[in-house]
Structure 1
Amino acid sequence: MFCVAENASKSGKFAHKKKRMEKDKMKVVLYLKKSGLDKSGQAPIMGRITYERTIAQFSCKLSCDPKLWNARESRLNGKSREAVATNGKLERLLLSVQSAYRVLCERGKVFTATDIKEQFQGNMQTQITFLERYNRMVEDMAQKVGIEIKAASLNSYYTIRKHLQAFIGEKYHTTDISFGQMEEDFLECLQHYSVGKLRHSQGYYRKMALAVKKACRLAYHEGLTERQLFAHIQE
């Protein structure tokens, strides 16, 4: 009898937790505002955040030809330059919304869809992205060539940057990402890409990993990210 009661209790707790998770789930929908066509026939792309019976709408600050819009997939059809560029920006925007949602969840306070909207819009306006900070790091290093760094070493950072951008494009379908979008599996996925796909040596991958860690460490000290990423990687 005790075992049955205990199992029933656990089952009830699990069901309650699952129900709560389903209730708390955030949803983001992208759609076209067809009533707002501009002179060239482009329709603005809008977004709607739904969370715990609250709703917030926002502009994606993007537009497209309504004929290219795939309402089911919330993206543009085809592989034209416009479609690829716009889809990349939409993917980055959705990742930023998810990042804002996680930040609010971690604070442990009650929030609404409007709070998520304001958090992600604030992030989009003020954040410095990973490759932007990496570029600044390399620019600073360029000033020290012949003093603290060799020209060959600097060139390796430029090459690594090209590989990082290609990797980000393949994994995230965008040209750059925010620090908030970088999870702990970033380096693991980078290793698979570098060693597995590009056939780099483990030693070269390690150089890439250390370059990533260096840029993230600088960002952390400058307050651009709330946590120090990849601190476990030994130099």
Structure 2
Amino acid sequence: MEGKSKEAVETNKDIGQLLLSIQKAFDVLVEKRTDFEAKDVKEALQGSVKTQTTLLSFVDEHISELSTHEGIDMSKSSVWTYRKIRKNLAEFIGEKYRLTDLAFGQLTEPFISDFHHYLLDEKGFSSGTITIYVSLFKKMCRIAFERGLCKNLLFAHYRVGTPRVTTPKALSMSDFIKIRDVELPEDKPRLSVSRDLFLFACYAGTAFIDTVSITKANVKVLEDGDKWLVYNRKKTGTLARVKLLPEALELMAKYEDGARDTLFPLLSTNRVRIDLITICKLAETSKTYSYHSGRHSFASLITLEAGVPMETICKMLGHKDVKMTQRYARVTQKKLFEDMDKFIAATEKDFVLAL
């Protein structure tokens, strides 16, 4: 594929890996010193993959082994962590490679870096969680190598870094307006879809996986007579309830399709991530934002700045603990000034300047 875009680079990298695998299969047949045809190369290539141990099948086996130690020298929460790693690996492989599994021989060094950024940018996990997930993943790869299930010790030199508290990247009002109003190329309609999915996250606080999964059944009219989005988060299973703003309802109406049960068309996280980079460049924003920034923006720009209490935002986002919400809901300068003005107005009558 021509060009220097990230999509072109990734596609060419995948093509290069495939060509290398084909060359290896060809060399094996040449070493046998017998006549062979193109179909023999194909069968050798497919067979070499089929006979290898696959990553997820090994992870399943490893989790099964750990489960036998649960309550003895392995806590229930530790086993649960391995299951979460397995779930996220499967989702990552499905979205990036369009496959249900990968053989160890198909893994390359960039895999772990791509997985790391997927957990950070698309899943929105904290640095501490990512450190645990990546470290345990490396440990499983080392065990697979020690058991002779893969030829190379994969990712031995990859370093995650020290966990640190990060400040979520919510949009400034200026950048939000730029992204919302920027004119997008008419010959690239998918950019508009990606922007609308992102704006919905700003208006409703949904993570990407929830945005593309929620259905018409998740839209409910509650006691106040208004429409609410009521759903269980894919990441944690926690119930989230958020009153739908007029802007969110407009986006839902725009993509309403009787042939589709979901509220929005399905795009991959990788596709939307690349589109957002393009959109931010066209909008000339102060920085490049990930999809998860929309969820952060709902917490601080849309709700907290409008005076919604932190505890209420917690319920809207489907957080189990208000401490997580406090990381999302950043107090903006405008909100700080307004709160100080209210405080001064409420107390100035109680203070008398003594001369």
Q: TM-score, normalised by structure 1?
A: 0.52
* Aligned position for 1:175: 100
Segment of structure 1 superposing worse, 209-218 or 192-201: 209-218
CA RMSD of aligned residues (A): 3.0
Displacement, 1:102? 5.3
Gaps of 5+ in 2: 1-14, 161-355
8 Å Cα contact 1:130/1:178 also seen in 2: yes
8 Å Cα contact 2:63/2:79 also seen in 1: yes
Displacement, 1:157? 0.9
Q: 1:137 aligns with which of 39, 62, 69?
A: 62
1:151 aligns with 2:76: yes
8 Å Cα contact 1:217/1:228 also seen in 2: yes
1:85-234 correspondence runs (5 A): 98=19, 100-101=21-22, 103=24, 113=38, 116-233=41-158
8 Å Cα contact 1:180/1:225 also seen in 2: yes
Query: Structure 1: which 4+ aligned runs deviate by more than 6 Å?
Result: 109-112
Amino acid in the other structure paired with 2:81: S
Q: 1:156 to 1:173 in 2, by over 3 A?
A: same
Distance in 2 (alpha carbons) for counterparts of 1:223 and 1:97: 23
Amino acid in the other structure paired with 2:79: L
Distance in 2 (alpha carbons) for counterparts of 1:95 and 1:167: 20
What is the SS of the residue equivalent to 2:101?
Answer: coil
**Which string of whole-angstrom CA distances, capped at 9 and with x for unpartnered residues, describes residues 20-56 of structure 1?**
xxxxxxxxxxxxxxxxxxxxxxxxxxxxxxxxxxxxx
Amino acid in the other structure paired with 1:129: T
Distance in 1 (alpha carbons) for counterparts of 2:23 and 2:95: 24
**Which string of whole-angstrom CA distances, capped at 9 and with x for unpartnered residues, describes residues 77-112 of structure 1?**
xxxxxxxxxxxxxxxxx99964633545898x7797
What is the SS of the residue equivalent to 2:94?
Answer: helix
Query: Identity over aligned residues, as a percent?
Result: 33
* Structure in which a larger fraction of residues adopt strand: 1
What is the SS of the residue equivalent to 1:165?
Answer: helix
8 Å Cα contact 2:56/2:101 also seen in 1: yes
Q: 1:125 to 1:184 in 2, by over 3 A?
A: closer
Size of the aligned set, in residue pairs, is: 141
Displacement, 1:174? 1.1
Displacement, 1:117? 3.0
Displacement, 1:204? 1.0
8 Å Cα contact 2:54/2:101 also seen in 1: yes
Distance in 1 (alpha carbons) for counterparts of 2:75 and 2:97: 33
Displacement, 1:165? 0.7
Displacement, 1:132? 0.3
Displacement, 1:222? 2.2
Q: 1:125 to 1:175 in 2, by over 3 A?
A: closer
Amino acid in the other structure paired with 2:102: I
8 Å Cα contact 2:25/2:41 also seen in 1: yes
Segment of structure 1 superposing worse, 171-180 or 97-106: 97-106
Q: TM-score, normalised by structure 2?
A: 0.35
Larger radius of gyration between Structure 1 and Structure 2: 2
What is the SS of the residue equivalent to 2:157?
Answer: coil
8 Å Cα contact 2:26/2:41 also seen in 1: no
Distance in 2 (alpha carbons) for counterparts of 1:212 and 1:159: 11
